[in-house]
A and B are shown apart, each in its own frame.
Chain A
Amino acid sequence: MNTPIRRLSVLIAALFAALLVASTMVQFVQAKSLDAMAANKRTLLDNYSRERGAIVVADQNIAESVKVSDQYEWLRTYPQGKLYSQITGFYSYAVGNPYGLEHVSDDLLSGGSDSLFVRRVTDLLTGRQTAGATLDLTIDPKAQAAADQALGNSRGAVVALDPQTGAVLAMVSHPQYDPNPISSHDLKKAATAWDALRADPNKAFLNRGISELYPPGSTFKVVTAAAALENGIVTDENSVVPGPATLDLPLTDTNLPNETGLPCGPNNQTTLIHAMEISCNTAFGSLGLDLGGEKLRAQAAKFGFGDSLQIPLRVTPSSVPAELNAPQAAQSAIGQYDVLTTPLQMAMVAAGIANGGRVMTPYLIQSVRTAGLDVIETGKPSELSQAVSARTAQIITTMMVAVVDKGSGARAQISGVAVAGKTGTAQHDPDKPPHAWFISFAPADNPKVAVAVVVEDGGVTGSEIGGGRVAAPIARAVMEAVLR
């Protein structure tokens, strides 16, 4: 009987080998993915029992963990309430952390990041719990507050950038929500707050500055002008361009009219700078025809259209459609047809012009600090692309200053400061008012801030008034807050 006994002992060894392999799979190979499962309450409790890093704006915590005496040990609170809701997101035992920095920077905040490895090892040896890292943001609290206040009860978004670095100075999206009740340890209260947020028709959880795509309307004329200058279709701001009351589009019965129904100048002609001041559709439409879709698209791409940015919040890529025919190119040149953009992207356009044509990569995190105050990461300015030449940037700046000084953007004027801007009114739904846009930067000669504002349904159909009247004052408030 000894032979079968030996064989059976091999079988026993094989059974146990299977158990060893399975345990290794669960505890080593798949451990990280198992830990990361949303339904895994252990991970959440684990993170709760650790001091989560704070999110800080100018030495003030906008998200912090407070020691409490219940089983979760640390309560996540947001001292500023709604103001930073879309930037921070929330951190809830009931729901998780699906949005904002709480989501994308979870590794750092929870202390699980690989960049905290050395710290974790020393903590292991000293028996301490590794606390999460603190995130210092680039946000200027004055600009954030000004943007929030100026946007008021309107739906829309404001994004302000430092044109020279790409640092995000303000990022406001309305409507907002209060992340505190969802993060409550009263799970019933948290669930109620979450259900309300989820069902909100206005999608308050959405960070409109980076996650919502809008037609840019006339603000896109800045990109068209850049493409025309870079491709030699016009030479400078005084170049003469066509400006009829209606632009006849080839291949189609629909024509491209001016909102006013009038030609933009005598003899159906005007200069580029005047076309910009009064936001002449036919002039830019004809530049679009001359350029063609691909050149327009290429110029937009140099400003960042089509890029998937992570600042580290994920930015929805803006887009100019490929393979445009002539009438579509003309429509796209004035920011209609299927051109779609985030407010951040238009802020990058303004910032690129402001910075001599160099578009800087936007970033939201200034520095990452461990609990021991060692800085482990710093936000460093980096160039995304040279979108236009310095000369082109200078010419467009001149034109945008004219828009604010004597054109459609007069409400963005700041006394004693040269402001460059461009209005926009973007049709998106025949039954609703258009979106009102404004992009700008200041001071024009040494730019410190570039802003993009969109107010949903804030415009007046058939008029550039919307962008100038509704959006420009908001941009001005933000610029003033940064400059003063």
Chain B
Amino acid sequence: MAKITKAWMIGLLAFILILTGCSSDTDGSVEGETENNEENGDTVTLEVGSWRTEDTAKYEKLFEAFNEKHPDIQLEFKPSKNTEYNTILNTALQSGEGPDIMQLRPYAAGAELADAGYLEPIEDLEGLDTFPDSSLMAAQGSDGTQYGVPLNMSTTQMFYNKKIFDELGLEEPQTYEEFIELNETFKSEGYTPLAMGTKEGWLMSLMHGIVGPAHYGANEFVEQIENGETDFVSDEYVASIEAMEQLKDYFPDNSEGLGMEDIRTLFFTEQAAMFPLGSWEIEVLKEMNPDLELDFFPMPSAVGKEPTITTWVDGSYAINANSEHKEEAKKFLEWMTTEEFGQMFTEEFSMVSAVPGVESDNQLVSDLAQAADEISTPYLILVHFAKGNPSSKAELETELQGMYLGEQTPEGVAEAVQKSAEGYYEPFQN
């Protein structure tokens, strides 16, 4: 019994110690904050929210450059984990809080925040006209009001391992048939043709974004969808799903159990020849295997159209309608529209800037940027159909997964997407 009382006493002591430590600590920070504000009466600190935790150091460099121009404005980068970002941001905004400037999910998700009145409209922001309408569209409310400045273009395309291509004396395919032949060659030579796995749904819609346009006829089809002249149960779209099914032959063994990290490993360890994925992988692959000879090709069309790479605006920055420093925040957004910013962004991040015509010293990024300007097709399911609950994008992902598991037909996939889209997509409702 004595032993126990002693243990409790120690516990209690620790408790008291911690309580005192804790409260003085809280006081300290509160003082610290007010001090900070008062100290430099005319300096304003803006919080910037984002889901890109891995970019912290890069953003700090950008912010420093901005601070040199505007010594009275400090920016503080506060990223949170991407899968929880929406919940964190929405909770804060719904409670009247949140960062002054925030990275906006593109298209439907951003529009939702705008429609709820949490964002400051920036219709008259200087420099907005540098962006094409297709980019601006990513950061608008559903009434077409502009709320955000686009940051970067993401592109998806077929990456390939140049060394393996050279070793087998192969070239980039010019037609879809050649693409299939390439796959056959790799298979017979003992390489995995396509590094792809079906365990994670988002990879399914991503890959369809690359392969699909080659079959449904890229931009013409997109236009028809926008005008309500065709739909997802059309032959063209079903053909694009069937093409996905055919490609299963070229996936690695056990592809139903492979996720992102697995397929990336297959590719950077040079066991797989091609890797249908997004531009952000360039950095990651380089870090994992600096010797990897990486290149990409646009997807050749199976229906006699131009080859395409798939693009969308991946993120924009918008201003919190509740911010106390909207004017200062606008200055930053204005800077984001300049070529200077675009140049710095591309160099620091190795990503394609949303500012048109920016060149990168990274050859691959530069080529991608050029392709994005010239032969791009939108990531259809994300741009128009990431809406509803479950969203049509999620439906496509789940049903494609079902198809690869043999529990769904291509027609069934197309029907599910169509049915989901009919719930909200106006061109389908007439």
A and B are interacting partners: no
